Chains A and B, each alone.
Chain A
Amino acid sequence: MDIKAYIVLALTLFTIGIIGVLVRRNAIIIFMCVELMLNAVNLLLVAFSKMHAVSTAAKALPTFASDAQIFVFFIMVVAAAEVSVGLAIIVMLYRNTHSVDVNFLNRLKN
């Protein structure tokens, strides 16, 4: 399987995530699209790790393929932490404004 296929796939998912962030107004959905983007990146990383596994094995060098997968692991860790904090914030905002509409959250205006 060519690496390009994985690149295209990951890019597509990433773009879908970006479009979702731009199109939706619900804060939670936007958050979820961010998760989607992260996942696309994860997929790409794993694909690259396997690519390295092939290319370096051909040259009989020590493989560092696992490093990318460890990286993915850590991304997941951070994503989890970020989700918990982020959702806590959203809940707080909902408590104050009773809406999750991003357009209402324009405190950065001034």
Chain B
Amino acid sequence: MNITTLSFILLSVMAVSSGIMMIRSKNPVHSILWLIVVFFSISGHYILLNAQFLAIVNIIVYAGAIMVLFLFVVMLMNLNADTEPVKNYRLQLIGVISGGSLLLVILSALMKMDSKQIVQMKVGDAGLIKNLGNVLFTNYVFPFEISSVLFLSAMIGAVIIGTKE
């Protein structure tokens, strides 16, 4: 058991358990915090795969900006554990069962697959920022520009929706 495998397992456990905690906690603020932990563990995975750029970007954008936005909204509405609506127990059960069976179905299909592709970890220059930037600004420069238009429209949309009439 080398260190790579160990860290993989550790990070996976952290991610999955935080995910479960996130959907289980009554308090929305706690859920947000657990989600942040998930993002951190996923970033950890990225680092393990030597996708350095993405790891950092994940932290900055997701955990830093998006989650903070969520937190602002939750604080704004003053939600806490008491006001949290709880779904009908039966429906919860049905939900869990259907989700679980979906997982099982796909996993069982997966088990039939017997390829032995391995993933390059820790090394590899595919994730280096130099290479990414290169690819981004040569092959994908058009989507890059369009995404700025996307942001613009999102901002305008958010403002329009948000103004009080």
Contacts and interface: CB of A to CB of B under 8 A. Distances in A.
Interface of B: 4-5, 8, 12, 15-16, 19-20, 22-23, 28, 31-32, 35, 38-39, 42, 45-46, 49-51, 53-54, 57-58, 61-62, 65-66, 69-70, 73-74, 76-77, 79, 84-87, 91-92, 94-96, 98-100, 102-103, 106-107, 110, 113, 115-121, 124, 126-127, 131-132, 134-136, 139-140, 143, 147, 150-151, 153-155, 157-159, 161-162, 164
Nearest to A103: B85
Contacts of B50: 50
Minimum-distance CB pairs A-B, first 5: A22-B95, A65-B126, A81-B154, A20-B23, A19-B99
Contact of A70 (B116, B136, B157): B136
Contact of A26 (B85, B92, B98): B85
A45 B95 CA distance: 27
Best-surrounded residue of B19, B39, B106 (most CB of chain A within 10 A): B19
B3 to A, nearest CB: 12
B16 A87 contact: no
A16 B51 CA distance: 24
A26 B119 CA distance: 38
A103 to B, nearest CB: 7
Nearest to B154: A81
Contacts, number: 234
A15 B100 contact: yes
Contacts of A78: 147, 150
